A and B are shown apart, each in its own frame.
Chain A
Amino acid sequence: MSTTGETLLEVRNLRKQFNTRYGALIAVAGVTFRIDNSEIFGLVGESGSGKSTVGSMIAGMYASNGGEILYRGQDIDKPAAKRSQQLKREIQMVFQDPGGSLNPRQTIRQILSFPFRVHSQSKRGKDLENEIKTAIGKVGLPLSYLEKYPQAIGGGEKQLVCIARALATNPSFIVLDEPTSALDVSIQAKISNTLLELQREFGLSYLFITHNLCLIRNLVHRTAIMYLGQLCETAPTSEFFSDPLHPYTQMLLSSIPVMSEAEEQYKPQEVKSVGEIPNPIHRPAGCGFHTRCPFCMNICKTKEPEMVEIKPTHFVCCHLHKAPA
């Protein structure tokens, strides 16, 4: 579980706004974080938090409305169409819905040949065949699967095909947007383990987006949590769970239903979950969480808090926690 310490991806004050007919929807409201080489970075949040939007912007679905995304020091804040082929090879994405990610009219072989055909035009015939076989072998699926259509294989296996497709270009960075949320627990375990093995073998970095805190606890090196488009807290995973500072983190952690008495001990002090996530189009002024926060102070209603580093590599964005003197 070690990283090389070099920064691979850096996101600074990223903003994204969607214009709907009801008003401006601020999906991402100034997010800053860093991911190192060979690091698994977890991004947690509920619906409306903006985590998927952050992942989409990094992968190149669309450009931001402000801020920077730096990959190996270069600004990559543009949609995929404007990115270089090299960049498209290096940053890949795996989606939540394995069924929707695979074209139902193509066989697995055709699906896997796509990345090779786009990126290495010289690959034809036997070379292409070998590459496809290697790709499917990396995720542990048998060769006979190449002839099948996606409908003939199970959800977990479809997701493995998506991962194989993402790996085909030898990427350095993969954005995984809820890759196991649609799968059963036992299959989720298999996919998670495959992802871990691949990460170790190829030294990949992951941006792992999910709402499942227990999965994060066991999979991810560093964790960040978002609420209504803002980053609330970022910390190394074990510290995130053992010493949560932001009230939202505490609320979320105390509402996880756990399976055994032993786990109950790991939950922080009970912070009752109240209220619902406000409509992102009508964001509350000041700190986005103040409408539900049990520790809300007057300043929270008017002024947005700033991100401070309370302990080394443990950042919080909350008026309760000021920078150490």
Chain B
Amino acid sequence: MSDTLLHIDTLSVWYKVYEGILHVLNGLSLHVDTGERVGLIGEAGCGKTTLLKTIAMILPAPAAQVPAGSVCLESVDILKDRRRGLRTVRDNVSMIFQDPTASLNPTLTVRTFMADILKNRPQRLSKGDKKRVMLQALEKVSMPSPERVLDSYPIQLSGGMRQRVCIAMCLLKDVRLILADEPTTSLDVTIEEQILELLNDLVVKGGKSMILVSHALGAVRKMTDRVCVMYAGEIIETGASKRVFGKPAHPYTQGLFDATPKLSGEGISDGIAGELPSYLTPPDGCRFAPRCPSCLPICNGSQPSIVTVSGAQDVACHLYTSNEENGE
């Protein structure tokens, strides 16, 4: 039925900095099936951008090291065979970044960017064909007056329109996986809704897969089938979106959801005490242990392994490992 498009296995990514080595991603595993929409939530510094950059193969060169793990896209391990990996990534993956203004070169018109991307398609297109393809892409993203937009510079477009241009650029090639890194953070709430719906529409209609990174938790809940919660470089909980949002299992996820102000007006929780652990000297056991309100003695010593809770949620937490051992 659905086969695995992207499979990441025990990936570790480190950055070399002045003070030493930052052990950011730590044995992380993730998979995305064809046509699946996966959400990735977590706070600043948890490594989600690093993860996306690893998949898109745009990690900062000398500083980043990948000491372990594999990233298989369409059965090609892109880390092992760099050339083949680059080819596979460029044919199959598209990325939308957080700041549409920074993603678009202010000195080029929209037509120039799009033509650039179309240059790399396997079949040669005539000029007329190219224009047709570009207009089609712009129409798919509900862009008003696409002809005028083609000849505009980014500065003449509003933030929402710029982000639509970025999404249209993703559609120019028939990619199978779209990586969206906080696509609506810099946009207004009413525009955000439109863009997210648009993205959703395109992904679902086109049978594409998507990894949506966002700290707008409500948006992730609406727009994804499955969600992964990241903390300090590890995926600590994953499961069907409705389930995880309805009943979060990991103490961090619970703390995060509690801290989010709600429309029902219950007031604001105290947040989560403490701060992110240092990546230079990460804790030996569970990385969340120093801040966890339900910390057990075992948590400081050993890393929790992933267990399945209630048949559908995977959690990396000792609270549940012991339950599983007890046959629950």
Contacts and interface: CB of A to CB of B under 8 A. Distances in A.
Asked whether any CB of A lies within 8 Å of a CB of B in the complex, the reply is: yes
Interface of A: 46-47, 154-155, 184-190, 192-193, 196, 211-215, 217-219, 237-238, 241, 251-252, 255-263, 266-267, 273, 276-277
B218 A218 contact: no
Nearest to A218: B261
Interface in B193-228: 193-194, 196, 215-219, 221-222
B218 A189 contact: no
Contact of B268 (A184, A219, A241, A255): A219
Contacts of A196: 268
A108 to B, nearest CB: 17
A193 B270 CA distance: 7
Contacts of B161: 276
B261 A217 contact: yes
B86 interface: no
Given A46-B188, A186-B271, 4 more contacts: A189-B271, A215-B268, A266-B264, A276-B161
**Of B161, B193, B221, B257, most A-chain CB atoms within 10 Å:** B193
A212 B263 CA distance: 11
Interface in B155-170: 158-161
Contacts of A258: 218, 221, 262-263
- Cβ-closest 6 pairs across A and B: A257-B218, A189-B271, A189-B259, A46-B188, A184-B43, A190-B271
B142 to A, nearest CB: 11
B262 A273 contact: no
Give chain A's interface secondary structure class.
helix
B20 interface: no
**Of A155, A251, A255, most B-chain CB atoms within 10 Å:** A255
A238 B193 CA distance: 24
Interface of B: 43-44, 158-161, 188-194, 196, 215-219, 221-222, 245-246, 255-257, 259-272, 275
9 contacts: A47-B188, A185-B43, A186-B271, A188-B261, A193-B270, A211-B189, A213-B263, A217-B261, A266-B263
Contacts of B216: 257
A108 B4 CA distance: 51
A46 B189 contact: yes
A162 B290 CA distance: 27
Contacts of B255: 186
A262 to B, nearest CB: 6
Contact of B190 (A215, A252, A260, A261): A252
A229 to B, nearest CB: 15
Contacts of B159: 47
A252 B217 CA distance: 17
A247 to B, nearest CB: 12
Contact of A189 (B215, B245, B270): B270
Contacts of B218: 256-259, 263
A251 B43 CA distance: 28
B174 to A, nearest CB: 29
A218 B268 contact: yes
Given A214-B260, A276-B158, A256 B189 contact: yes
A121 to B, nearest CB: 37
Contact of A218 (B43, B193, B262): B262
Given A184-B215, A185-B43, A257-B193, A217 B265 contact: yes
Contacts of A214: 260-263
B271 A187 contact: yes
A188 B268 CA distance: 9
Given A192-B268, A257-B216, A260-B246, A252 B189 contact: yes
A218 B267 contact: yes
A211 B192 CA distance: 12
B265 A212 contact: no
**Of B216, B255, B263, most A-chain CB atoms within 10 Å:** B263
A254 to B, nearest CB: 9
